[in-house]
Amino acid sequence: MTVAEQYQSDVDMILAKRYDNGGDYWATLDKRLIKGSPFTTLESALMLTELGMLPSSYIERNY
C-alpha cells in the first residue's frame, strides 16, 4: 500500500517529529514509548498506518 499524494504532507510532518521526544521513533531518551502525545511511538505508528504507510516503510530492521 502506498501513501496517497493528498496525505504525503501529513506523513512528512509525522516523520519529521521522530526525534522530538529525545529518542528515536518518537520515544524518550530513557526509551519511554507513551510520552509526548500526540506523537508517542504508538500514536505515530497508528497515524502513519492510517495514512497508508506500511510499518516496514518507517521501521528499520537491525538484524
Q: What is the pTM of this model?
A: 0.80
Q: Is 35 left (phi over 0), alpha (psi -120 to 50) or beta?
A: beta
Q: What are 3-53's pLDDT values in tens digits?
A: 889 999 999 999 999 999 999 999 999 999 998 888 999 999 999 999 998
The values of phi and psi at residue 15, to 5°, are -65, -30
Q: Is the pLDDT of residue 59 over 80?
A: no
